[in-house]
Amino acid sequence: MGILNYDVRGKTALITLTNGENKQDLPFAQAMLDAIAQAESDPTIKSMVIAADDEKNWSQGVNLNWLMGKMTSGGHDDIKAFMFAMNDVFAKLLTVPFPTIAAITGHAFGNGAILACACDFRFMRQDRGYFCFPEVDVSIPFLPSMIETCKTAVPYHRFNEMKLSGRRLTADDALADHILQGVAPDAAATVDAALEYAATFAKGRGIFGEHKRRLHRHILATMQTEDKPYIDALQLMA
């Protein structure tokens, strides 16, 4: 089972996560960076959609089995490389010179929800899946830049509730909070809606990228100045 597929639909790059629960580890981060780079290197691409092919999941977040295995075996350098690489994934989504759209076709938990927040727009299936931050229940603190990234997509009062309670939002809940651009009845319709919305964009890359860089420069700075000490010290668990 591969990590993802890369396809082009018209002028839209379609990244489909293909690894079941799509848990995030170093290979996942590297595959995402390669796919984003492929889209960015193609001047005909005007938008990107990130979907998944699992019946239940979009992304379940960090692969805790991989993470704890590395902790136990002393693979600290791999853990640091993963954390920096996921920051690179988030940074690329926040700055690539075209819109990025999450087609949330199942559960988006933890780092999976943050991945969706790093996209410019989000659609979600209505019949299955939750959007949540369970870090408070598994004793994993947010990196500072993760908080800033989530605040670009989730109203602060709701984010505060979610990160402190672990509350799971349905698609209808998330739509009511304007976290989503829209909902669709099932997974296939969610991808279709995201692709249809993506096709409405034909903005110039120069101005679009500059808007995104200026809009999110505080997040990029936070990654460099505040995240790095936590990652270097491996302060992963509360």
pLDDT in tens, 89-99: 999 999 999 99
- Does 54 fall in a domain? yes
Instruction: Determine contact, residues 173/55, Cβ cutoff 8 Å.
Output: no
Owner of token pair 């989504």: 93
| DSSP H or E run through 73 | helix 64-73
Using 50, 70 and 90 to split pLDDT, how confident is the model at 13? Answer: very high
Amino acid identity at 232: D
Q: What are the residues facing 51 on neighbouring strands?
A: 16
- Does 53 fall in a domain? yes
- Does 203 fall in a domain? no
CA distance 84 to 147: 16
Instruction: Determine contact, residues 30/3, Cβ cutoff 8 Å.
Output: no
**Number of independent structural domains in the chain:** 1
Instruction: Determine contact, residues 9/42, Cβ cutoff 8 Å.
Output: no
Domain that holds residue 18: 4-198
SS3 104: strand
SS3 5: strand
Instruction: State residue 121 phi and psi, 5-degree precision.
Output: -145, 160
What count of Cα atoms within 13 Å lies in the side-chain half-sphere of residue 231? 22
- Does 214 fall in a domain? no
What would the pLDDT profile of 27-79 be if each residue is shown by its tens digit? 999 999 999 999 999 999 999 999 999 999 999 999 999 998 998 999 999 99
CA distance 78 to 67: 9
CA distance 210 to 222: 19
- Does 139 fall in a domain? yes
Q: Which two tokens stand for residue 83?
A: 């954390």
This prediction has a pTM of 0.96
- Does 236 fall in a domain? no
- Does 60 fall in a domain? yes
Go through the chain and tell me how many residues it has: 238
Percent of the chain with pLDDT over 90: 94
| Span 122-146, average pLDDT | 95
- Does 32 fall in a domain? yes
DSSP 8-state assignment for residue 37: H
